[in-house]
Homo-oligomer: A and B are copies of this chain.
Amino acid sequence: MATMQDVANLAGVSLSTVSYTLTGKRPVSAATRARIEAAMAELGFRRHAAARALAARRTHVLALAYPTYGVALGATLNDIVRGAVEAARESGYELVLWPVDSTEPEVLRELAGQRTADGVLLMEVALDDPRIEAVESVGVPCAMIGRTQDPGDRVWVDIDFEDALTQAVEHLWGLGHRSIAFLNRSQAQLDTHYGPAVRARDAYVAAMTEHGLDPLTVACDVTPPAGRRVGTELLASHRDLTALIVMNELALFGVASALREADLQVPRDFSVLAVAIAEDISQMYDRPLSFLAAPGPDQGRLAVRGLLDLIEGRTTTGGTNLRCALHPQSTTGPVPVP
């Protein structure tokens, strides 16, 4: 493994000059730079990350705590990851994933404490997330995707569920639907006041009320069989229903089965609109799904930018809510004529 000293020798310059061509922190003449670059290419030189990190007191690595349990569909998380990776690279940082679940903050404390990353991104943040304290306790900056009950002046990026559900109700209202139900996340999430579930429900109720409609919310476990069960019950007990808003990735697939079994053709007899799902997931559905796209890549990107502001001592943006874009496709249509 060639070192910077080898490069310097071959190029006939001093070690520090090589360093400066690499970091750009001091000017280097074009001629010298060319010689150095030639030498680096010839030797196949690569900076030794540990040495760099030690000397510069910066690893140029950002870590994203990546849950490995209970992640049935990778697409949603991966959208975020891709946005984050991109933003990090643009700023000369690498993003790595730490496979750590929310239940093991100690692992996070250990990892962060060794200073293997300059900052940590937390995804799927719970209302009272012990990981934040763990990371901050060892003096490492962190940013969250989602947000805690009281984020203070921390950096966070969340989805604008209020806007998303307003858009959803309005889209269906515009198509003539007057009986629109909302299939939410699990009761357990509601019971613990999990932000997305609560905020989406409240926004849905508000939007319905505003249009003079009766809201109808059902909680549903995050699995296809649960979606099928809940969907079937819902269709049986509310025969006047013509549209369903679903904010539950996995239940969505069960809902499709329930509709088929109830002999309802989509969108002729019934409309389905998914909220806050990744585009990849919409493509797994029977037919082109009408959906409000979760801003996954942007969430990742913005969270990284905010984290870098924190790391590099710039003033931070605080929190941001990101809108979901409506993609009306083939599962929403005009209300059926009776």
List, in ascending order, chain B residues with CB within 8 A of A116's CB.
49-50, 61, 94
| Known contacts A94-B111, A225-B285; A69/B74 CB under 8 A | no
Number of A residues whose C-beta is below 8 Å from B?
Answer: 56
A101 to B337, CA, bound (A): 49
Whether A286 pairs with B225 at a CB distance below 8 angstroms is yes
Interface presence of A53 (CB below 8 A): yes
> How distant is A196 from chain B, measured CB to nearest CB, in Å?
19
| Known contacts A49-B115, A114-B46, A284-B225; A68/B78 CB under 8 A | yes
Interface presence of A82 (CB below 8 A): yes
List, in ascending order, chain B residues with CB within 8 A of A78's CB.
68-69, 71, 74
Contact pattern, A 47-71, Cβ under 8 Å of B = 1, otherwise 0: 1111101100001010100101101
List, in ascending order, chain B residues with CB within 8 A of A53's CB.
50
Whether B46 pairs with A50 at a CB distance below 8 angstroms is no
Whether B260 pairs with A223 at a CB distance below 8 angstroms is no
Question: Could you tell me which residues of chain A, from 23 to 44, have a CB within 8 Å of some CB in chain B?
Answer: none
> How distant is A72 from chain B, measured CB to nearest CB, in Å?
6
Whether A72 pairs with B280 at a CB distance below 8 angstroms is yes
Dominant SS among interface residues on chain A: mixed
Contact pattern, A 247-277, Cβ under 8 Å of B = 1, otherwise 0: 0001001001100110000000000000000
List, in ascending order, chain B residues with CB within 8 A of A225's CB.
284-287
Interface centre among A1, A71, A74 (most CB of B within 10 A): A74
Whether A50 pairs with B115 at a CB distance below 8 angstroms is yes
A224 to B75, CA, bound (A): 15
Interface presence of A77 (CB below 8 A): yes
User: Chain B: which residue is nearest A76 at the CB level?
Assistant: B74
Interface presence of A139 (CB below 8 A): yes
List, in ascending order, chain B residues with CB within 8 A of A138's CB.
46
A100 to B286, CA, bound (A): 30
Partner of A72, one of B73, B81, B113, B114: B73
List, in ascending order, chain B residues with CB within 8 A of A63's CB.
96
